[in-house]
Amino acid sequence: MKNVYLGIDVGSVSTNIVLVDEENNVIDKLYIRTQGNPIKVLKEGIRKTREAIFNLDYDIEIVGVGTTGSGRDLASVMVGADIVKNEITAHAIAALNYVPGAKTILEIGGQDSKIILLRNNVISDFAMNTVCAAGTGSFLDRQAARLDIPIEDFGEKALNSTSEVRIAGRCAVFAESDMIHKQQLGYSQEDIINGLCEALVRNYLNNLAKGKDIQSPVVFQGGVAANVGIKRAFEKALDTEVYVPEHHNVMGALGAALLAKKQMQQQGKSNFLGLDIADNEFKVKGFECSDCPNVCEVVGIYKERDLSARWGDKCGKWNDTTLESPVD
């Protein structure tokens, strides 16, 4: 029987699940779209993970679980997590596992981007961009679709560029308009795509990374790290090698699994509820507490008909699940 650790990252765009063993090897990983329905998608992910475990030619036991991402509290209640951490910490832990001594993490996901600075293996600074779409995976998806190019081939096209084209990348609307203008001027697709990659990197460095002390080694992760055109543009702009981890698109979940492994060295027995939670029904109900001027939005999650947990109140009163809820 092999001990493994389960990491879950529930984000607004994707839900990622990773299983790692005692040597930090990834046994199984899953990347699925959240599609605005984290409960349904997490159950689907757990179900697929259960099938993947069933098909292994050796037995494993999940002895620790960690959750991260914007839906980390929800996921924690559903699966019975041993540790819950924000995505900045999870991404940093995963990057340090891949590149020991990493000092800068560039992370670009489907709808947001981050920069994390590490010094002596500790987070010293970070910044997140959840407002501007320019430079995120969803913007690149849209441009690839508009140019009728599979997103998997988008970066490779940039590598075949022979002439520099400057695209205005400060805003998604300006970038798209400028790309259309450059097409009308007769520039090749390869040159325009390379110009877009450089514009998005310029936008990232001039806004999100503005004033940040970017030092090597630099790790590039998130779904957009698969784009070799963006990777090359970062290397050109920073004049240093940029490392892309093998599991770059599930680094948050990987970090959560590694944090769970560390947690279990102190905790002993796991809170994990088992993979059969995929067959349970979960429902969320919320209400506004009017007991004080804070008027907190309290959220409760129900497993079948039973209340599993509540959160959202500042005073902690509703953490007591024996209290009768106004919406029960």
The pLDDT, as a whole number, for residue 251 is 94
Residue 215, classed as helix, strand or coil, is coil
Separation of alpha carbons 104 and 219, rounded Å: 6
The pLDDT, as a whole number, for residue 67 is 97
Taking residues 26-41, what's their average pLDDT? 90
CA geometry: angle at 266 spanning 274 and 116, to 5°?
85
Q: How confident is the model at residue 10 (pLDDT cuts 50, 70, 90)?
A: very high
Residue 301 neighbours by CB under 8 Å, 6+ apart: 74, 77, 78, 282, 283, 284, 307, 308, 309, 310
Specify the range with the lowest mean pLDDT, choosing from 34-38, 77-81, 209-213, 233-237: 34-38
Give the ranges where 172-268 is alpha helix by DSSP (H): 172-184, 189-203, 228-238, 251-267
- Digit-coded pLDDT (tens) for 54-69: 999 899 999 999 999 9
Q: Cα Rg for the chain, rounded, in angstroms?
A: 22
User: Phi and psi (nearest 5°) for 116?
Assistant: -125, 125
Helix axes 189-203, 228-238, angle to 10 degrees: 60
- The answer on pLDDT for 113 being more than 90 is no
The pLDDT, as a whole number, for residue 132 is 60
Most confident segment among 17-21, 53-57, 130-134: 17-21
Q: Is the peptide bond before 217 cis (omega within 30 degrees of 0)?
A: yes
State the chain's maximal CA–CA distance in angstroms: 68
User: Phi and psi (nearest 5°) for 164?
Assistant: -75, 135
The pLDDT, as a whole number, for residue 169 is 66
Burial grade of 304 (CB within 10 A; 0-12, 13-18, 19 or more):
exposed
The length of the chain, given as a count of residues: 328
How does DSSP classify residue 279?
G
Q: Can you read off the two tokens belonging to residue 84?
A: 């819950």
Please, what is the average pLDDT of the chain?
A: 88
pTM equals 0.85
- The answer on pLDDT for 46 being more than 90 is yes
- The answer on pLDDT for 323 being more than 90 is no
- Digit-coded pLDDT (tens) for 250-309: 999 999 999 999 999 998 899 999 999 999 999 888 888 888 888 888 888 888 888 888
Taking residues 128-136, what's their average pLDDT? 65
109-146 burial, b for 16+ CB within 10 Å, e for fewer?
Answer: bbbbbbbbbbeeeeeeebbebeebbbbbbbbbeebbee
| Domains of the chain, first to last | 2-92+252-279 (3.30.420.40), 100-244 (3.30.420.40), 281-327 (no CATH)
- The answer on pLDDT for 90 being more than 90 is yes
The pLDDT, as a whole number, for residue 176 is 76
User: CB–CB of 78/62 below 8 Å?
Assistant: no
Does an H or E element contain 204, and which?
none
Order across the sheet with 242-243: list the strands: 122-129, 113-119, 104-108, 218-221, 242-243
Residue written as tokens 């040159």? 191
Q: How confident is the model at residue 133 (pLDDT cuts 50, 70, 90)?
A: low
User: Phi and psi (nearest 5°) for 47?
Assistant: -65, -45
The pLDDT, as a whole number, for residue 265 is 92
